[in-house]
Amino acid sequence: MRRMIFTACMALAFLTVSAQENPYIVKTKGAKKSAQTQMADELAAAQQEVEEAKDFIGQNFKFYSLCDWQEGMKFMVMPEKYDLVVKTFTDAATGKEVSSMPLKYKIMVYKGHHESTDGHARIDFLCQDNGKSYYYEIPSGSFEDYCYTKTGVPTLAYLGDVDIAREKLMGRTLFTKTQFFRIDTEYDGEGFQDVVVDKDMEVRVIAVGVGSRSFPVKIIVEDKDGNEFFQNVAISKTNSGMRDDEFIMDNTKYLFGGSFEMVDDIMAINSYNYRVYLGKIIHTKYPTKMLNETTKKVQAIPRLAEYQIEAINPHKNDDKATLKLKNTTLGTYFYCDMVLDQHRAEKQDEYFGYIFAPGPGKKVKTSEASRAMIRAGHVGIGFSEDEVMMAAGEPDMIEHGENGTYTWIFNRSNNKQLVVHFTGAGTVDKTTTKDGPAPVKSPSVKRPNSKMGKKVMKNGTPL
């Protein structure tokens, strides 16, 4: 009995060391090392589990049905709860079934398939870690009948997607397309905690590793404040074991395009074939300034404002082009000068693909009376936050008062400040102007730190 307990403890300790040294196992910072007594429970715990970003996915990740697998393809054993009970692999040398627990995190190299003497189809693997041969026996039917299904081989996460994602995504800037991500809670286990973050937030990829069989690519990102979180995503869907129609509703975020948006894939205008971009819908990723055709004044524009590209006119004497954009809510035309080629932009905020992203922005409901005031750049009594931002941009400062009231303050170019007071219900009840602070040479626009932008964990604790 003591020998059995000792052997089990040694196996758990070996798995812990293997997980720590395996380059495919990556963790967000702050994950704690769990005790070995807890690790056994973690090994038996359930593995939790939009459309694809078609250009990026289609160009870099290929779906391989089991029929198309090629010798040398690599997979990692990532068993789920069910796999720890039902044995997946058989030791080819002994003919005995093997528990998934000692094979966890081991890399299996595909070696083809064969038919046994009793007529059963078997899929062959060589374990890269221990040099042993294993096979998965297809439950029924021939290999040809089985390989066209989405079932694949249980427990195996496809590492080809992980390797390509590392090459293509490490250090890249992305934007979050969902609010729901995770952080690791254990260094040597698979514990995690759900977190809620801002949608359309800029993040940077700092690590790529293996996730689960269904969602093989674990992408760890970091926001501008140094907070790390991750998502396990399916990219090519090779051996994911899930049908395409299962990646809907809550599972949409487990597609790459459901959680992340590439910064430059669609918005990089390097071909100078401008006509193909006319009529496209775009939105602002960051606050910016544009010339309002109606007021003839430069106006502050908030993030997530939606426009349609009406015209692109390249300059003859520099690398910029003048864009004519139509606000889809107001119908008002705006103009801005942007560098279209990222490599020619001297500043980040003058590059078109940095300020704008493809697709719809935030839908704002307004009355016809409100729209008339917004077109003129005026803030009216009864305006919502969204309407105020459409008229004046994002505030430079926010002050909080009593009973839930608050004030937005906008710095004006004439050394004046527009002061907009909101009721506790979030509507404007008073606007005033006052003298602003002394002007500085290079004013910077501060993004509001309001209730709209706070990242919180599921339990409400700020990240």
Per-residue pLDDT of the chain (463 residues; tens, 9 = 90+): 444 444 445 554 555 555 556 788 888 877 766 554 444 444 343 233 334 344 577 778 999 999 999 999 999 999 987 777 788 999 999 999 999 999 999 999 999 999 998 889 999 999 999 999 999 999 888 898 898 878 899 999 999 999 999 999 999 888 898 999 999 998 888 889 999 998 878 899 999 999 999 999 999 999 989 999 999 999 999 999 998 888 888 888 999 988 998 765 444 444 445 666 888 899 999 999 999 998 898 999 999 999 999 998 888 778 888 999 999 999 999 999 998 887 788 888 899 988 998 888 888 888 888 999 998 889 999 999 999 999 999 999 999 999 999 999 998 877 889 999 999 999 999 999 988 776 555 444 444 443 333 344 433 334 3
Is 306 strand, coil or helix? Answer: strand
Q: Are 192 and 42 in contact (CB under 8 A)?
A: no
pTM to 2 decimal places: 0.53
Instruction: Name beta bridge partners: 11.
Output: none
User: Can you tell me the distance from the alpha carbon of 30 to that of 186, in angstroms, rounded to the nearest whole number?
Assistant: 8
Domains of the chain, by residue range, sit at: 1-262, 365-463
Distance of alpha carbon 162 from the chain centroid: 15
- Domain 365-463 sits in CATH at 3.30.1450.10
User: Can you tell me the distance from the alpha carbon of 451 to that of 429, in angstroms, rounded to the nearest whole number?
Assistant: 19
Q: Are 408 and 420 in contact (CB under 8 A)?
A: yes
